[in-house]
Structure 1
Amino acid sequence: MERRTLLKTLLAGALAGSVQVALAQRLAATQRQTEGPFYPDRLPLDQDNNLVNIAGHSKPAAGEVTELTGHILDLDGKALRGVTIEIWQVDNNGHYSHSGDAGAGNDPNFQGFGRFETGQSGEYRFRTIKPVPYPGRTPHIHVKLRKGGRELLTTQMYVQSHPLNERDGVLRSIRDAKQRAALMVPFVPGKERPGELAARFDIVLAHV
């Protein structure tokens, strides 16, 4: 009886330990951030995932061209297909594609907004520019996820190690240092096209 009790105790301990390990390996959900006032009030005719080249324009957008990629995952790391990801950001002059920020300074060759729907691998891909600062904000890209007409998440991604990050009120509103760091993305030299940058931002959804 004592041996049987001991075996049951050891088995229970092993199961509890495996559950703790499984929970520890679950991913942390990407933090929500404000949409801000400049989600496009008039969506561009060209809404694809290439923000650098607009259909019918002979010139590309000004700025450091960046291949932005990543995966959309659930908390267990499973790839999520059929999720529409939207991004929007300022042009290289610091202006949004929005009537409230329109003027002679806007880059006419920058799309400013793009969409992509994930496939089986959950991967997304955009061709855009490295974000630049504008008065009151550190460089960032806005991100919104939707599926089946439902909005799943709105957040922002930031340039890792940019000096203005420490003074940005929206970014600093995330008190947890790890959650805040998860929104910061390194922009590094790209491998596919010389002279361009690459950035990867994986997004984890708590609810789908």
Structure 2
Amino acid sequence: MTDETTPRPSAPGDERRDRPALSRKNLLKGALLAAPVPLLLGGAPALARTLRPAAERGERLAPTPYCDDGDDPTPPQMEGPYFKPNSPRRTSLVEPGTRGTPLTVGGYVFGRSCAPLANVLLDFWQADENGAYDNVGHRFRGHQYTDARGAFELTTIVPGLYPGRTRHIHVKAQAPGRPVLTTQLYFPGEPRNATDAIFDPALLMTVRTVGSGKEADFDFVLDVPGTPPPTTPPPDPGATWRAGTDYRPGDRVAYGGAPYTCLQGHRSQAGWEPPNAPALWRRS
């Protein structure tokens, strides 16, 4: 099978590329703020569990990497010298006696159309807390598959540092019958990010401290074509909101039996109904 491992040049530092404020993926993610259910918009996934804290802090909601119906997939990176095949299938790399800062990495895998991808193979490997790889057994190595929503979750520790590299986690991702993407995930705020020649800011995870451990989020975008998730809602005879309308900040509409106030000027379209687009509408 083909292995997409060609390194991509990267700029030093943690700065993200500027991205448009609105996209299909941002709006689908924003729906998580308005509804706690796992599936929205007729089967579209609820995404990026970091959005609610970020919104509460007033920060810009920027997914990594950006997915907007045709944008670049997650960039590949070199495999490195420590990959081993035949890792055990497991979602936790923590074993009895494991030391280090606990870390949970979660997210989703999408195709180029932003449709979630089920049964994607994700093979992770990393250094231990001292920066050493187990090249004899399979410590801190394991593979899993995304669920029906395209979601994954990995329980591990924050990897240690070793000479010449910043802190990182290796991963291979393969959708059924598609080529393998080999890449690496990085931690924001690491001093060595600025000096690591391989580091790519497009591969930064969103990381936060929770108790004595860390939680991180990352959404993969694979070079897989597909049909975007449906966004046409069922009819709402009492709604005054209409697709194709130019709304201005302060405009008020009704939808789903509730009043909403427009927050950002925009031309409405299917999928951007007020309950599903908290970046555009606030329930009054």
TM-score in same-fold range (> 0.5): yes
SS at match of 2:198: helix
With over 3 angstroms needed to count, the CA separation of the structure-2 counterparts of 1:81 and 1:164, relative to structure 1, is same
Q: 2:134 aligns with which of 97, 109, 126?
A: 97
- 2:169 alignment partner AA: I
Q: Percent identity over the alignment? A: 31
**Larger RCO of the pair (alpha carbons < 8 Å, separation 6+):** 1
Equivalent residue, structure 2, for 1:196? 213
Following superposition of structure 1 onto structure 2, how do residues 9-24 of structure 1 map, counting pairs within 5 Å? Answer: none
Tell me, yes or no, if structure 1 residue 141 matches structure 2 residue 166: no
Following superposition of structure 1 onto structure 2, how do residues 52-201 of structure 1 map, counting pairs within 5 Å? Answer: 52-53=94-95, 59-99=96-136, 111-148=139-176, 150-171=178-199, 180-190=200-210, 194-201=211-218
Structure 1 portions without partners, runs of 5+: 1-20, 54-58, 103-109, 172-179
With over 3 angstroms needed to count, the CA separation of the structure-2 counterparts of 1:78 and 1:147, relative to structure 1, is closer
- 1:158 alignment partner AA: Y
Rounded to whole Å, the distance in 2 between the matches of 1:87 and 1:112 is: 8
Using structure 1 for the length normalisation, give the TM-score.
0.69
SS at match of 2:192: helix
Alignment RMSD, CA only? 2.3
Shift of 1:181: 2.2
**Alignment check: 8 A CA contact 1:80 1:120 kept:** yes
Shift of 1:149: 6.1
The structure richer in helix per residue is 1
Rounded to whole Å, the distance in 2 between the matches of 1:123 and 1:203 is: 10
**Alignment check: 8 A CA contact 2:131 2:160 kept:** yes
Shift of 1:201: 1.0
The C-alpha deviation readout for 1:40-85, integer Å capped at 9, x for no partner, is 26x45x44111012xxxxx341111111101000122110001110
Rounded to whole Å, the distance in 2 between the matches of 1:28 and 1:151 is: 16
Number of aligned residue pairs: 160
Rounded to whole Å, the distance in 2 between the matches of 1:149 and 1:29 is: 17
Using structure 2 for the length normalisation, give the TM-score.
0.52
Equivalent residue, structure 2, for 1:30? 74
Tell me, yes or no, if structure 1 residue 39 matches structure 2 residue 91: no
**Alignment check: 8 A CA contact 1:74 1:204 kept:** yes
Structure 2 portions without partners, runs of 5+: 1-22, 25-66, 226-284
